[in-house]
Structure 1
Amino acid sequence: MTVTQQYLLDVHRARQHGEPVPPAPGRHDLRVVRGLREHRRFLAVLAGRPAGGRIRRLLRDRGPRRGRHTAARRSAAR
């Protein structure tokens, strides 16, 4: 049985019993992902590591190459 089929079955049962309809599958996925990210940041703080921004920090550390690229883009836009 697929997730969609199970959801439709749950909706049907809820309506028969006069109960509220359950949320659609995937409705709270973004909230769950954000919660996991916050939990990982919390664990990093407890372990004494930087709380986040690893990708941004990695890109920032490659600075000179990125700086030339943005300068060239600015001059081309004028």
Structure 2
Amino acid sequence: MQQHMIDSYRAARLGEPAPPVPGTHDVATVRAMRDYRRFEAVLAGRPATGRLRAALAHLTAPQHRRRPPACP
């Protein structure tokens, strides 16, 4: 926040447009990261959708339904 205030002051002194408020582009950044991960999954031959939901379902499944970890 302090850096934004300094940049805003500098921009006002130089007659430049003010920088965007912190957090303005956070949602767009998260969406771009998600899209990139899906794209990489498709290129690697993995399913592009449902991986997070499947992982959460696996973690929240009752203990008797879980498979034991593989022994090394």
Larger radius of gyration: 1
- Structure showing the higher helix proportion among its residues: 1
| Matched length | 59
Q: Distance in 2 between matches of 1:51 and 1:32?
A: 19
1:50 is the counterpart of 2:42: no
**Structure 2 stretches lacking a partner, 5+ long:** 59-72
Give percent identity, aligned residues only: 55
Question: CA-atom RMSD, angstroms?
Answer: 1.9
Find out whether 1:27 has 2:24 as its counterpart: yes
Gap regions ≥5 residues in structure 1 = 62-78
Moved over 3 A (4+): 55-61
The TM-score normalised by the length of structure 2 is: 0.71
Relative to the length of structure 1, the TM-score reads 0.66
